[in-house]
Structure formats: C-alpha cells, structure tokens
Amino acid sequence: MSAPPPPVGVVTGLVAEARCLERCSNGAIPIVFCSGGSAARAREGARRLAADGAGGLLSFGMAGGLDPKLAPGALVLAARVVAPDGTRFDTSREWRERLRVEVSGGCELATGDVAGRDGPVHSPAEKRALYETTGAAAVDMESHAVAAVAREAGLPFLVVRAIADPAQRSVPSWALSGLAADGRTRPLAVLARLALRPWEAPGLLALARDSAAAMASLRRVADFSALFAAPR
C-alpha cells in the first residue's frame, strides 16, 4: 500500500484566513503558518513548513485588487508571482489546472498574476501604478516570500487569493494596527485609531464589508479537494 501524500503547507496572513481551511471536506489536513501580514515572517514560516515535510506550499488568503474589473470576493488563481525586485515565480501548472477543473461550475476563478510587496499598498493611485508596471491582478504581502522558499526547496507552489479591497478602494494607512504578529486581530487597537480619525469610519466599514465577501469566497474554495492535492 502506498504511503499517504505529504500535507500541503499553507501560509496565510490572518488567523481568520486559516480558519477557512477548517471546513476542508476531503480529509487532507494542511499544516498552516500565519504570518501576521509580514513578508519576513511568511518566508520564515514557509521554510518551517518545508522543513516539517510539506509536499507543496500554498499562499492563501485575502489580497488587494489591482485589476479594476475584479470586485470584492473575486478569487484569483495566480499563474505567476511578481516579487518587488521584478523576479517572476511560476506556480505549479499541474496543481493549478487540477483545481480549475474541479471548481468549474461551482466557483469562479479569475486568472492573473499576483504582485508581492513587503508593505501594504494603500491608495488607488498606488494600485494603478503597480497594475501598470506589473500587469498583476492582485497584490499581497506573503506570496512572493512563499514563492521564493518553494523555489529554493524544490516544492510545487500555488496561490489562491480573494479580493478584499478592490482597485478603486483606499485602505487607511493605520488599518494594519489591528493585526498582531501571529495573525490575530486586535479590534480595540483599530477602534482607538478610529477615535482619532472618525472621518475615516465609512471607508473602514466598506473595507470590512468587502473583506467579509473575500472570506466567504475563501471558505467556498476550501471545500475543493484539489486545493490540498499538491502534485508529487
């Protein structure tokens, strides 16, 4: 009897994103690291997952939209990741196509590259400039770090991201104050900042609504077994 496949190692930014994986229905239990929105911690976590025997690395969670056609909740299945220095990392074609075939009809996946950045991209102008220079559909702060580790470890790599703040949406510069290093949220820290900037409440409420749409999409795609079936 053949040995069971090794688990997929998943890097997320938030604990809430990792919880979306708890509903995976195929019995494959991934091993997960939450980076707290830090590229350096994402790299460290990916290396730890590889050392722990992960058979593939998955960057999973929310992202900022760069392509103006992508609405909140849209799922992006990346063909490539563009690092801040312009290096491009290909995702696993076999893994990508396996997931695409399985979700066909049950979940819509947009195709496009993902840009990796070491810090948040706040304004529509920043997003537009990044879209024009990279052609990427979305941006996050983990995928480029995970991609680099996957390449150095010789592991298959996949990116699935849901749009939380579309290209036209501004993100308050202090929004990440509510994110702890372990990926847990600190709502009181956000409320304290908001008390000093009450005029930004509508934007924060819109971001919360759009993030809820993204989380719903992540929970939906986590039901598909191909997400956790890295090619050997």
| CATH numbers and ranges of domains, the chain | 8-228 (3.40.50.1580)
Give the global pTM. Answer: 0.88
Whether 69 has a pLDDT exceeding 60, the answer reads yes
For 9-13, 24-28, 60-64, 65-69, which range has the lowest pLDDT when averaged over its residues? 24-28
Contact 13, 185 (CB under 8 A): no
Which residues are CB-neighbours of 96 under 8 A, at least 6 positions away? Answer: 77, 79, 158
- For 162-186, write each residue's pLDDT tens digit: 999 899 987 766 566 555 565 556 5
Higher pLDDT, 36 or 69: 69
For 3-17, 57-71, 147-161, which range has the lowest pLDDT when averaged over its residues? 3-17
Whether 100 has a pLDDT exceeding 90, the answer reads yes
Whether 6 has a pLDDT exceeding 90, the answer reads no
Q: Specify burial of residue 231 (Cβ count, 10 A radius: 0-12, 13-18, 19+).
A: middle
